[in-house]
Every structure is written in structure tokens, then in C-alpha cells.
């Protein structure tokens, strides 16, 4: 007898199984009903064998009544019945053994079935978990895809900006290179000019020395003369020589002072009304050698002597207008003095006693 396990239905089938009708099979279906079914089958088979035994015995009795003498017949019948009974007992024992084996197989199958069922449940759980994981992963993947798209957009924008910056950087670099070249050129020019200036300064110093020597020589020669003379283009007035700046040339007070000193004289020092009138007639406005640069209100001449007396100030002067007037000019307006900002550019007059 073979036994088959139907995984789908969870039922057990086989040769004995097929002996049952459909209704009985459905009654006996299911895991717990297998054992009952086998016991039922065995009982049915037992009953069948008993029935068969009764039928055979009755057949033998009837047949012997018709064919054989009475005493011999009874003995033969008994012998036959005993043999048949022994056969049936043997068959019953074999059937019992097969039933036991079948029970064992059923139990094993039952165990296997339970273990397989547990395995199946575990696999189902695993599958469900995997399904859930897959769903989560799909969602995550969708999110990541969205993020990826946004990231790509940002990357593209960043790339554009980088490119623009790169372009700007290149242009600035070129500009920087040009400026560097220019700077280097200017440095070289400055070096050359410095050298040239040093050369000119040295020449100028030589010329100044020569001029001073010549002026000394003129002074020495003049001392020996009975009639003292002023240099060419200078004016002589009351034992003083006067240099009057050229027309349309103007300088600040300090530069005018320096010019006079370079000529071996000083910015005009005025000691009398007569001299004041003489100086005021050359130009509308003229620097003279008087200032209060060192101390406000303390007027001094360029030779370091203080202004003695009231001087020849115009009315209301010196007024140190806007607190920036520290140098004196002669202006034709009344011919008197006025204090002015020293940076003002005016004509100037130098003088030098003979």
C-alpha cells in the first residue's frame, strides 16, 4: 500500500484511501482525521473478512450435504474451516502489522507536515517582511530620485555660477597681469627718473655753489667801488636793490621767499613809508617778507627781526580772516598791508641792502 501527501489540501491519500467514497473521504479529511480513518478502514476490513468466512462456510456446508456421505463430510468441513480460519488469522496479523507501519508513517508525515507548516509560516512571514521592505525601499528610492533631480538642478546652477566666476576670474587675472606690467614699467621709470633727478640735483648744487661764489665776488667788487650797483634787471632805491617778479608769474608766500633767497636776497623788508610806497606801485598785490606763522599776532620779518611800531596795515587788518591768514601782502587798495593765507599765489618783491 502506498501513501501520498497532498501539500495543497493538507491531506493524506493512497491505496486504502481510494477505497473510501467521496463523502467518507471528506468526512475523514484533515490532519486529525487520518488516524480515525485508518482505524475505521481496519475495522471494515475485519468485518468483511468475517462476512467472507461466513459465506464460505455456508457454501461448503451446503455443497457437502449434496455430494458426500454425512460423517466424512463433517470432518472435511471442519478441517477446511480450521484452515480457512488460520489463513484469516494470518491475514489479520499481517493487516495489523501494515496498519501499525501505516500509523508510524502517518505520524512521521504528521510531524513533517507540522514542521513544514511552521517552515511555511516562517517563509510567509519572511515574504511579508520582504514585501514591506520592498515597499519601503521603493518609497525611499522615489524620495531619493526626487532628491537626485533637485540636486542635479542645484548642481547645474552651481556649474553655471562657477563658469561665470571662472570667466570673471580669468578677466580679472588678465587685468591684474596688465596692472602688474604697468607697475613694473612705472618702477623702472621711477628708478630712471630718480637717477636723473639725483644727477640734476648734483648739477644744481654745483650751479648754486658757483652762483654763491659769484655773488660773493660781486659783493667784494662792489665794496671796492665808490658807486654801488644792483645786479642787472634789479632796481636800486635808497641804498637797496629790489627784484620784482616777472609779470603773470605768481607763487605762494613760501616759494616767493625761497626765490628771493636763491637770488641772494630776501622777501622785501619795509622800514619806511617811502619804501612802502615804492614797493606798492609794481603790482596790485605783492608778497612782502612779514608773517606771524610762528605765533598768531606776533609779526616778524624774514630776517628774524620783530615788526617795530604799527606798520602800514590797511584799516581793520590784520584780521586773520577764517583763522588762516598768517602772511602779509601789499595791496594797492590804499597801498597798505593785509594778512592773507600763505598758500595764496601772488607776485612778490625781494630786496637787499647795498
Partner whose footprint covers residue 213, from ligand 2F8, Ca ion, none (CB < 5 to 8 Å by kind) = none
Neighbour tally for 64: CB within 10 Å: 17
Point out the residue whose Cβ comes nearest to ligand 2F8.
321
Distance separating alpha carbons of residues 286 and 345, to the nearest angstrom: 10
Nearer to Ca ion, 212 or 321 (CB): 321
The least distance separating Ca ion from the CB of residue 337, rounded to whole angstroms, comes to: 9
Cα dihedral angle (115, 118, 120, 125), rounded to 10 degrees?
A: -160
Partner whose footprint covers residue 292, from Ca ion, ligand 2F8, none (CB < 5 to 8 Å by kind) = none
Partner whose footprint covers residue 316, from ligand 2F8, Ca ion, none (CB < 5 to 8 Å by kind) = ligand 2F8
Nearer to ligand 2F8, 259 or 325 (CB): 325
Nearer to Ca ion, 242 or 337 (CB): 337
The least distance separating Ca ion from the CB of residue 275, rounded to whole angstroms, comes to: 21
Distance separating alpha carbons of residues 172 and 22, to the nearest angstrom: 98
Helical (H) or strand (E) element with 56: helix 34-67
The least distance separating ligand 2F8 from the CB of residue 351, rounded to whole angstroms, comes to: 23
Q: Binding marks (x or -) toward Ca ion, 187..226, rule CB under 5 A?
A: ----------------------------------------
The runs of H, that is alpha helices, within 225-330 are: 253-262, 273-280
Residue written as cell 456446508?
Answer: 61
The least distance separating ligand 2F8 from the CB of residue 207, rounded to whole angstroms, comes to: 37
∠ CA 332-338-342, nearest 5°, is 115
Nearer to ligand 2F8, 242 or 253 (CB): 253
Binding positions for ligand 2F8, rule: CB under 6 A: 316-317, 319, 321, 325, 338-340
Distance separating alpha carbons of residues 270 and 288, to the nearest angstrom: 8
For the chain, how far is it from start to end, CA to CA, in angstroms? 165
Pairing of strands 235-237, 285-291: unpaired
Q: Which of residues 294-353 bind Ca ion (CB under 5 A)?
A: 317, 319, 321, 325, 338-339
Residue written as cell 636723473?
Answer: 196
Q: Which positions touch Ca ion (CB under 5 A)?
A: 317, 319, 321, 325, 338-339
Amino acid at each position: 500500500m502506498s501513501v501520498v501527501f497532498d501539500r495543497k489540501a493538507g491531506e493524506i491519500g493512497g491505496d486504502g484511501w481510494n477505497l473510501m467514497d467521496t463523502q467518507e473521504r471528506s468526512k475523514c479529511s484533515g490532519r486529525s482525521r487520518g488516524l480515525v480513518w485508518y482505524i475505521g478502514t481496519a475495522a471494515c476490513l475485519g468485518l468483511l473478512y468475517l462476512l467472507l468466512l461466513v459465506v464460505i462456510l455456508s457454501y461448503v456446508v451446503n455443497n457437502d450435504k449434496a455430494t458426500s456421505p454425512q460423517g466424512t463430510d463433517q470432518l472435511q468441513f471442519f478441517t477446511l474451516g480450521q484452515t480457512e480460519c488460520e489463513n484469516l488469522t494470518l491475514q489479520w496479523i499481517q493487516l495489523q502489522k501494515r496498519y501499525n507501519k501505516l500509523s508510524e508513517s502517518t505520524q512521521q508525515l504528521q510531524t513533517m507536515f507540522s514542521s513544514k507548516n511552521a517552515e511555511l509560516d516562517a517563509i510567509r512571514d519572511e515574504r511579508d517582511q520582504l514585501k514591506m521592505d520592498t515597499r519601503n525601499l521603493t518609497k525611499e528610492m522615489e524620495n531619493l530620485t526626487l532628491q537626485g533631480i533637485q540636486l542635479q538642478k542645484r548642481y547645474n546652477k552651481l556649474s553655471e555660477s562657477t563658469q561665470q566666476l571662472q570667466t570673471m576670474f580669468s578677466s580679472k587675472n588678465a587685468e591684474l597681469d596688465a596692472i602688474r606690467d604697468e607697475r613694473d614699467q612705472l618702477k623702472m621709470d621711477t628708478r630712471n627718473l630718480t637717477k636723473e633727478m639725483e644727477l640734476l640735483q648734483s648739477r644744481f648744487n654745483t650751479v648754486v655753489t658757483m652762483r654763491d661764489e659769484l655773488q660773493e665776488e660781486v659783493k667784494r667788487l662792489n665794496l671796492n667801488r665808490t658807486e654801488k650797483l644792483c645786479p642787472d634787471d634789479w632796481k636800486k632805491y635808497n641804498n637797496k636793490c629790489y627784484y620784482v617778479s616777472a609779470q603773470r608769474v605768481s607763487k605762494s608766500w613760501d616759494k616767493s621767499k625761497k626765490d628771493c633767497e636763491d637770488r641772494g636776497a630776501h622777501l622785501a623788508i619795509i622800514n619806511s613809508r617811502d619804501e612802502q610806497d615804492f614797493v606798492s606801485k609794481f603790482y596790485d598785490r605783492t608778497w612782502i617778507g612779514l608773517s606771524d606763522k610762528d605765533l598768531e599776532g606776533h609779526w616778524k620779518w624774514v630776517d628774524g627781526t620783530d615788526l617795530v611800531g604799527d606798520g602800514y596795515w590797511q584799516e581793520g587788518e590784520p584780521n586773520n580772516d577764517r583763522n588762516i591768514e598768517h602772511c602779509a601782502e601789499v595791496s594797492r587798495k590804499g597801498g597798505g598791508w593785509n594778512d592773507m593765507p600763505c598758500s595764496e599765489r601772488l607776485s612778490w618783491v625781494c630786496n637787499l641792502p647795498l
